[in-house]
Amino acid sequence: MKLTHKLSDYFDRYDRSKGAAYFEEKRVEFKRLEGSVAQFIVSGSYEYRVTIKPDDEGAEMTCSCPYFKDGNNCKHLWAAVLASDDLEIFEKKPITNQVPLWKKQIVRAYDFYNSEARRIQSRRSDLGKVKHYSFAINLETARHMHKIRIDFYCREELQNGKLGALKPTKVTRESIATAAVKEDREILALLLGKTEQDTYFSYSLVREFSQVSLLADFTAEILSFISDKGRLFLLTNDFKINRELQPYKFSNEIYEISSTLKKANAKEYLLYPKLVSSCEERELSETLAHTSGLILFKEKVVLAHLGPNNAWINLFSHNPGGIKIPESEVDDFIAMTLEPVDEVLPSIELPSELCFKEHVVQDPKVEISIRSLSRSSFSLSVKFRYGDHLVSSEGRKIIYDFKNKIQIPRHLEFEESVYQTLLAAGAEEAADLTVSQSGFLNVVNTAIAKNWEVLFQERKVRGGGGFNFAIRPSGSDWFEIDAQFNFDQTPVQLPVLIANLRSGERIIRLDDGTIGVIPEDWFKKFSGLKLIDFPLNGSMKLNKLQALFLSETIEPLYSVGGQKRLEAIGSFVSDLAKAKKTTDPKRFKGKLRSYQKEGLTWLKNLNENKIGGILADDMGLGKTVQVIALFCSLGKFGKPNLLVVPKSLIHNWISEFNRFAPQFKILNFTGSDRTKDFHTFSDCDVVITTYQTLRADVEKVRDIKFYYLIMDEAHYVKNSESQAHFALRLLKAQHVIALTGTPVENSLSDLFSLLALVTPGLISANQANRWLTEADNDSLQNLARALRPFILRRTKEDVLKDLPEKSEQIIYCDFSQEEKSRYEDLKKHYWLNLSGQIEKKGLARSKIEILEALLRLRQAACHQGLLDRSLAGQISAKFEILLDALENAVRENHKALVFSQFTSLLDLLKPHLKSRKIDFEYLDGKTQNRKELVERFQSSTSPKVFLLSLKAGGVGLNLTAADYVFILDPWWNPAAERQAVDRTHRIGQKNKVFSYKLITKGTVEEKILELQKKKKELAHAILSETSGPLKSLKFEDLRILFE
């Protein structure tokens, strides 16, 4: 078994921990093994001898430290035990017949008792002796080791009352009590302390000693105390107290070393030292010894300020006669010693012929030299010019001009502020100042702004100064830019600047070989220039569109050479932005809301200036109405207008024209039966077609000249690579307007694609690509400001005060050719059956069959998959319009409710919502967790669509999170529709509510709407599927429903 296992319980945790640390620090040295006794030396405060003799029960151990002598196991023993196990000293042979451990412990206690008893007896024999102590500074120690050691001496009082011979003595803490004189007791108490922690000397673990070395921090205090008691003496080099036994004095005078440079002879100067206090001057040769804070003279010890490491006094101690300096080298000497470096050397008193006059430089210049360390790192060397003197931050606080014998104090606070400014600008402090590539420009611009001189790769760096910027008309629709930019009077032409604006490079190589740094504010002021795609040579021409675009982004246009904005562009821009008061056009059969009048003003201004634009109002704000009002305000066109819309909106546009501007001749250019005679276009005011139709017939339509090209739901052509987008670019139109609630759906490329159609030439493909890949937040803000004249967008929140509480609209849907054919077949089938039934049984007895037929036709108008499950996966005409509308609403961050009487219709809708990634909730009469669904819809950002059946969702729910309502199939009772809309329009609704009723064109739904106006009871019977009111039904009414 290892010794550590046997002996662990005999050591406390503290000793084991300290012993382990000694062992790890390799303080244990194994000396020898004699028989079964291992001998070690353990280095602690001193070197301690340790022996270990193991036996069956443990080990017999000794240590020479005082702690062990007091009867305790110590850390030195444990360190040796660990070393024994590590070296496997006792592993080779078993050791038997050893003394039991308990016996060894008792023997050790007896030994300790006997030795302590002898020591106490010896001490008691001294108690009767009266001792007078003396405390002597050991001069040899002070001289060679530069520290103060106090040696203890005493004289015993003899029986005749006289004092015996002076002799060295040893003291212990018990000596404090045995000292006969009060002053001695006080001094011993100060030196020895009551505990080890109270002592003021270095060897606190020694229990009995003849001298102590004082700690530097307490030396002056202790010497002063001993001197005041009259017990301080000086031990001379022969190790005897001076015979007169005169007390050695301690003085609080502070001495400093000084020196004088004086002419020794015609060829030499002599630097001579002296010690100076406020009371006297002493020669350096009078000193006996010195420490860092004291000087020992023959009669006293004094305080001294000698500087770090006593460097100056050490120098003169080896040259007591002074230092000789040849006259030819005196300037070098003064340069080295005039100004103390870190206060190591004192100032020197110079002769008059070598004195310097002070000259103050008020504004030192800053010079910064920058060099490349690597591709991404640069070094900065900072220097300061004081007149003709260029100095770095290192060195002396005073500049000495030996030629003119002047001294120039440096502005150290200013120099430090320069460094702090550079660090704040992005420089980094290592061995030298450095700056990374990302911080380079900021550091340079900061320095130039402070008028500091900057060199880069030894080339002067210039900051941007003034500029001359001129824009003048050049023809009816053109403008010309001519500009020059100055870098400290070194000019740069506009094309060079624009090249840098486009590349983002801030550095320009100037014609004189120096380097220019484009100021940050130039990048902001002139950022609009990089958006214009023109050649970079000579003066530059802009068309009206580009000039308008530029006028909204480039600040100098507002203040150039003290002038106001250039009139040529200024009047053009102000005309476009002017908010003219507009009334409803005379030929417009309706009333525009306030914001719609503003939209009409904007459209008319675009028209007058021959510029296209994007009307990007929120869904439901009446983009269609604003376009129709524009057409009404323009009078005769002279050319047809072309409207390109999604297929699902054809009849909605036609219906709106018939409602608000019935005077216009409308041509529906869709379907397989559309006209092939394109000359008929000129006979119409408005041609309406779809994107698909245009794509198919673009080669025949491209040569026709249109007055307006209107693109509704223009996000359909956001992909500039699509065939529809290409087809639109081929058209010839005098004005182009895009309508969309989401001009930017996924990225800026959507917007650029639309701008390429409405404002061709404004932003080139190259420019658009730069915006998509390099734009930052500032650039995007500039772009938004620049495009402001071309885009008008109002959200519902912007125009709340102009909106009614609820807005209701009917959206007409067009069957596809296949849907229409199936519906007509179904209608014929039911009409034939009903005709025969009525002929046999009469109208009154055929009510059930009539209701059944009308129900099936209503279902077929919604989705024919309700009747034929094989068609369930197709998108019906209603679904096509609904899904587009829901996508727009969700895209614009709105929520919507979708109602239907037919839960099976809502089931058909669900997969189409999922395929378009539109999240939704669903509620019908079977739903159990109604409250949970409603709360989630009300409080969460998703889902944004709620599908509800009429009976389950028409009453008792609060769904104010939605502001759009879609009714998929008409209900007779207006109160029922109002109840559905009121799910959103309740207390707590902060937005205006838009309600849309979807009606399929040419179906029984459209006929029922007509009956609602004329025969409300009959329509109620059909829609509510109740036969009672059908008694008033006439055969003629039935025939109308089946026409």
Residue 736's pLDDT is: 95
For 659-663, which contacts have Cβ atoms below 8 Å and span 24 or more sequence positions?
659/589, 659/590, 660/588, 660/589, 660/590, 660/625, 660/628, 660/629, 660/632, 661/587, 661/588, 661/589, 661/628, 661/631, 661/632, 662/589, 663/587
pLDDT band per the 50, 70, 90 thresholds, residue 338: low
Domains contained in the chain, number: 7
Same domain for 485 and 442: no
Q: What CATH code is carried by the domain that includes residue 841?
A: 3.40.50.300
More confident residue, 1024 or 690: 690
What is the b/e burial string over 338-362, where b = at least 16 CB atoms within 10 angstroms of the residue's CB?
Answer: bbeeeeebbebebeeebebeeeebe
pLDDT: is 658 or 334 the higher one? 658
Q: What is the longest distance spanned by two Cα atoms in the chain? A: 167
Considering the domain architecture, whether residues 212 and 310 belong to the same structural domain is answered as no
Q: Residue 124: which pLDDT band, with cuts at 50, 70 and 90? A: very low
Quick one: DSSP state of residue 705? E
Domain boundary among 454, 487, 511: 454
State whether 794 and 819 are in the same domain.
no
Q: How many helices (H) and strands (E) does the chain have?
A: 35, 46
Q: How far is CA 122 from CA 70, 128, 188, 266, 1007, in A?
A: 17, 11, 20, 74, 135
DSSP 310: G
Quick one: pLDDT at residue 71?
67
Residue 267: per-residue pLDDT: 87
pLDDT of residue 572: 47
Q: Can you give the pLDDT at residue 42?
A: 92
pLDDT at 22: 93
pLDDT of 905-953, one tens digit each? 999 999 999 999 999 999 888 888 888 888 888 888 888 999 988 777 6
At residue 204, the pLDDT reads 38
Q: Among the listed ranges 282-286, 325-329, 430-434, 976-980, which one has the minimum average pLDDT value?
A: 976-980
Contact 458, 441 (CB under 8 A): no
**Omega before 943 within 30 of 0, i.e. cis:** yes
Mean pLDDT score across all residues of the chain: 80
- Reply yes or no on whether the pLDDT at 1013 is more than 80: no
Which pLDDT score, from 0 to 100, does residue 475 have? 65
Instruction: Go through the chain and tell me how many residues it has.
Output: 1043
Q: Reduced to 3 states, what is the DSSP secondary structure of residue 720? A: coil
Domain of residue 1010, residue span = 808-1041
| pLDDT computed for residue 196 by the predictor | 40
Residue 852 in this model has a pLDDT that exceeds 80: yes
pLDDT band at 565; cut points 50, 70, 90: very low
Give the number of C-alpha atoms closer than 13 A to the C-alpha of residue 725, restricted to the C-beta side: 19
Q: Which one has a higher pLDDT value, 979 or 153?
A: 153
Maximum mean pLDDT: which of 262-276, 315-329, 801-815:
262-276
- Residue 40 confidence (pLDDT) above 90: yes
Instruction: Check residues 317 and 398 and name the one with the higher pLDDT.
Output: 398
- Any idea which residue has 């490329």 for tokens? 749
Whole-number pLDDT of residue 41: 93
Mean pLDDT of 363-380: 88
Give me Rg for the CA atoms of the chain. Answer: 53
Check pLDDT > 70 for residue 987: no
Helix (H, G, I), strand (E, B) or coil at 529: helix
Residues 230-273: tens digit of each pLDDT: 889 988 765 555 455 578 999 999 998 888 888 888 889 988 88
pLDDT value at position 241?
54
Give the model confidence (pLDDT) of 639-683 as tens digits: 999 999 988 788 889 988 998 999 999 999 988 878 877 888 888
pLDDT bracket for residue 329 (50, 70, 90): confident
Q: 865 pLDDT exceeds 90? A: yes
- pLDDT score of 539 more than 60: no
Q: What is the mean pLDDT of residues 214-224?
A: 87
pLDDT of res. 576: 47
Tokens of 359: 């000259």
Q: Which residues contact 479 (CB under 8 A, 6 or more apart)?
A: 471, 472, 473, 541, 542, 543, 544, 547, 568, 569
Of 518, 539, 574, the last residue of a domain is 574
Q: What pLDDT is attached to residue 556?
A: 45
**Do residues 1032 and 927 share a domain?**
yes
Same-domain status, 100 and 238? no
Whether 763 and 821 share a structural domain: no
- 834 vs 828: CA distance, rounded Å: 10
* Residue showing tokens 């484009």: 518
Instruction: Return the pLDDT at 138.
Output: 87
pLDDT of 225: 92
Supply the pLDDT for residue 563.
36
The domain boundary, picked from 454, 481, 502, lies at 454
Model pLDDT, residue 3: 86
Q: Identify whether the C-beta of residue 631 lies closer than 8 Å to the C-beta of residue 664.
A: yes
Output the pLDDT for position 954: 56
Q: Are residues 716 and 789 in the same domain?
A: yes
Same domain flag for 610 and 738: yes
Domain identity same for 132 and 118: no
Q: Give the span between the Cα atoms of 513 and 493, in whole angstroms.
A: 16
Q: 595 and 606: one domain?
A: yes
**Which H helix or E strand runs over 432?**
none
Which has the minimum average pLDDT: 163-167, 427-431, 561-565, 925-929?
Answer: 561-565
Q: What are the two backbone dihedrals, phi and then psi, of residue 194, each rounded to the nearest 5 degrees?
A: -80, -25
**What integer pLDDT is reported at residue 627 of this predicted model?**
95
**Which structure tokens are listed for 130?**
């009266």
Is residue 160 located within the same domain as residue 299?
Answer: no
pLDDT for 1015-1034, tens place per residue?
Answer: 554 445 554 545 444 555 66
% of the chain with per-residue pLDDT over 70:
79
Q: Span 603-632, mean pLDDT?
A: 89
Question: Taking 90 as the threshold, does the pLDDT of residue 109 lie above it?
Answer: no
CB 895 within 8 A of CB 963: yes
User: Which tokens hold the place of 380?
Assistant: 């900065």
Weakest mean pLDDT among 327-331, 341-345, 715-719, 964-968: 341-345
- Cβ atoms of 961 and 937 within 8 Å: the answer is yes
Predicted confidence band at 226 (pLDDT cuts at 50, 70, 90)? very high
Q: Comparing 90-104, 530-544, 699-713, which segment has the lowest mean pLDDT?
A: 90-104
Q: Are residues 300 and 370 in the same domain?
A: no
Q: Crossing angle for the helix pair 437-449 and 412-425, nearest 10 degrees? A: 140
What pLDDT does 972 receive?
A: 56
